[in-house]
Amino acid sequence: VATVLGGFKSLGELRTNPFGLPQVWEWENYGGILWSKRYWQLLGNSLIISTMTVVLTLIAASMAAFVFAQIKFFGSAMLMSYITMGLLFPAATAILPLFIKVRDLGLLDSYFGVVLPQVAFALAMSILLLRRFFKDIPYELLEAARIDGCSYIEFFRYVTLPLSRPILATVGTIVFVNSWNSYLIPLIMLNSDDLYPWPLGIMVYQGEYSSEWHLILAFVTLTILPTIILFLFAQKHIVAGLTAGAVKG
């Protein structure tokens, strides 16, 4: 609430009255941002990066989770533990080798230079959530499908995925929000202003000696609205996905 109201204040009033209602409502703070081409460019870049991250993460994580949940093979537990270790390391700990690898692949200053590292760091959490859900699908269903001539790929496509819409919506929303708010990886991988997502766009309102905090608060309010709207629409699926399998019997 303080962020939303702060966007309606002048810089001077924000310093003297940071939490109360504005004495004079400065509507042009929001209007100037909404009517600027730069805002929509930043929003479009964020939408492209986040959507690509969600799609690639769901494709890779769902297939990996299905293998770990439904197919028995030697070393699966050890491999799953190795993947789970990815949760222990934030992106900041690997930013230098990550930058070198992205540079060697020729993906610096491109959408994929940001998307692929985000997908890599989202896979561990996504596989864990999806695997837990997939394991609740009766194994007898897979055996019956195999007897009827259904392949693993067909079972995954026509049975597992349709039954997994709640958890897919849950994982997709979490990955989207994390990608939408990501700051460090885009900062390191992008050089062109035309490719900046919205977290880097805040730097427009930061000068050498001072920052236009009233405009920053208005900008942040407008840019977090898409994630709030997404969460409200997906809330029912998120609750269903996170509570699935919590109660047995």
What value does the mean pLDDT take over residues 87-111? Answer: 87
What value does the mean pLDDT take over residues 196-215? Answer: 72
Question: Above pLDDT 90, what percent of the chain?
Answer: 26
pLDDT of residue 243: 59
pLDDT of residue 211: 67
Does the structure show a pLDDT above 70 at 1? no
pLDDT of residue 249: 43
More confident: 240 or 7: 7
Of 144-158, 174-188, 229-243, least confident by mean pLDDT is 229-243
Q: Nearest CA to 223 among 39, 14, 35?
A: 39
pLDDT per residue as tens digits for the range 50-61:
999 999 999 999
Question: pTM above 0.75?
Answer: yes
At 241, the pLDDT band (50, 70, 90 cuts) reads low
Question: Above pLDDT 70, what percent of the chain?
Answer: 90
What value does the mean pLDDT take over residues 179-187? Answer: 90
pLDDT per residue as tens digits for the range 143-172:
888 887 888 888 888 888 888 888 898 899
Does the structure show a pLDDT above 90 at 46? yes
